[in-house]
Amino acid sequence: MYDHINQVCSLIRARSALVPRVGMILGSGLAALADELDEAVVFPYAELPGFHEPKVPGHRGELALGLLAGQPVAVLRGRFHFYEGYGMPEVTFPVRVLRALGCETLLVTNAAGGLHATWQVGDIMLITDHIFMPGLAGHTPLLGPNDDRLGPRFPGMVGAYQSEWVPLAHAAAAGLGFTLREGVYLMVAGPSFESGAELRAFRLWGADAVGMSTAPEVVVARHAGMRVLGFSLITNLALPDGPPANHAEVLDAGEAAKPRFAALIREVLRRGAFVEGF
């Protein structure tokens, strides 16, 4: 994998001299934020060995390098998923590439179902922790021999999401006139949405939102020594007695919330430029 990562980075560096500081993963319906990059250089996933073209609507399948809110960034416009048949090392390979390109921080986003009846579609949740259900069942991107050049054998996940940046994220939201939710993100394998009994169990376990991505990317980011900041866009309410979720609803909610969500990410990046270690 180490050599494969360097091969992909060589292809990218042949077209862009930018050294990104922040890597970003934009989830369902959120990829349009990357259209705002200045001096952008775009790489379709099809041109990058080891990257797969997403088959899920709302995921473009492009890596873009450029400047956003003054920060040099590398943006993954969409992701490919475990439920599409890819192994966890494949799903997280783009994070390895982001790290090798120079990214020290991973800003990860997703669309998620809110597990609270008092929440609303369009809310944005700052991720404070996660429950990685497939990982607990053995589907982890770190399975197999460890390459010490990529990270330690046993990386810790306590404090995986940068708690010292919580005030920064809340201040960014407040400056834009809204309040962030906070909570624990639980990842399921998908692609089926959850049963009522599962949703009740997730609440008992302390989860606040549920989705089908993100946790393996964060595991690899932490394995590689990256700092992590994560946001979930609540695109539906995942309630045991509520209406069943559907993907069209997810995309519609992402489209409606796009201006506010994009403004939040820009403001977080702007404020992060003045924070040591961001």
Between the alpha carbon of residue 32 and those of residues 35, 185, 187, the distances in Å are 5, 23, 24
Whether 28 sits among the annotated catalytic residues: the reply is yes
* Distance in angstroms (rounded) separating the CA atoms of residues 177 and 187: 29
Residue reference for tokens 């990829």: 31
* Residue 163, annotated as binding a ligand: no
Which of 59, 130, 238, 257 is flagged as catalytic? 59
Structure tokens at 239: 């309630």
Residue 152 main-chain phi, psi, to 5 deg: -75, 160
Catalytic residue list contains 256 = no
> Of 230, 260, 265, 221, which is closest to residue 112 (Cα–Cα)?
230
**DSSP helix/strand/coil, 183:** strand
Residue type, 228: V
User: Is residue 139 among the annotated active site residues?
Assistant: no
213 known member of a binding site: yes
- Please identify which of the residues 52, 81, 130, 223 carries the catalytic annotation: 81
Catalytic option among 24, 64, 88, 111: 111
Choice among 83, 86, 139, 255 that is catalytic: 83
**Could you tell me if residue 248 is left (phi over 0), alpha (psi between -120 and 50 degrees) or otherwise beta?**
alpha
- 13 is annotated as contributing to ligand binding: no
Contact 220, 165 (CB under 8 A): no
Check 16, 110, 213, 232 and give the catalytic one: 213
Closest by Cα among 101, 106, 104, 105 to 10: 101
Q: Among this protein's residues, is 185 annotated catalytic?
A: no
- The question of whether 52 is a catalytic residue gets the answer no
Answer yes or no: is 195 a known binding residue.
no
Was 53 annotated as part of a binding site? no
> What interhelical angle do 88-101 and 2-13 show, nearest 10?
50
Catalytically annotated residue among 36, 47, 84, 90? 84
The verdict on whether residue 80 carries a ligand-binding annotation is yes
Does 112 appear as a known binding residue?
Answer: no
- For residue 81, indicate whether it is catalytic: yes
Exposed, middle or buried by CB within 10 Å (0-12, 13-18, 19+), for 166? middle
Is position 59 annotated in a ligand binding site? yes
Q: Are 211 and 112 in contact (CB under 8 A)?
A: yes
81 is in an annotated binding site: yes
Please say if 111 is a catalytic residue. Answer: yes
Binding site as annotated, residues: 28, 59, 79-81, 111, 194, 213, 236
Q: Where in the sequence numbering do the catalytic residues fall? A: 28, 59, 81, 83-84, 111, 212-213, 236, 247
Binding site as annotated, residues for a purine D-ribonucleoside: 194, 236
Binding site as annotated, residues for phosphate: 28, 59, 79-81, 111, 213
